[in-house]
Amino acid sequence: MTRRPRPRKEFKFWLYWDIDEQVKLMDYIKWLNQTRQFATVVRNGLRLMWTLSEGDTSVLFELFPGLRAQLRRQHPAHPAGILPTC
């Protein structure tokens, strides 16, 4: 049984060797590639940035479920409605 190729698009970006933060990203990307996680992390990162810019924290709490409880512990005086219940 032959698989039909799925349509896809490649995106490229540059990192600079003379910026320490970007060199650290290069090391992280190398590790992500070795562990076959790079594409997933990039997709999740873009999805997270997009939803946060829209004021939606659902993806944040989906990717980091312990964060909701941690934020509630740090700010117990805030009304329960301050953090989304998603």
pTM score of the predicted model: 0.73
Q: pLDDT, tens digit, for every residue of 72-84? A: 887 766 655 555 5
The answer to the question of residue 15 being in a domain is: no
The answer to the question of residue 56 being in a domain is: yes
- Structural domain boundaries, residue 30: 20-79
pLDDT at 39: 96
Q: Are 16 and 22 in contact (CB under 8 A)?
A: yes
Tally of domains within the chain: 1
Q: pLDDT, tens digit, for every residue of 7-56? A: 999 999 999 999 999 999 999 999 999 999 999 999 999 999 999 999 99
How far apart are the C-alpha atoms of 40 and 47, rounded to whole Å?
Answer: 10
The answer to the question of residue 69 being in a domain is: yes
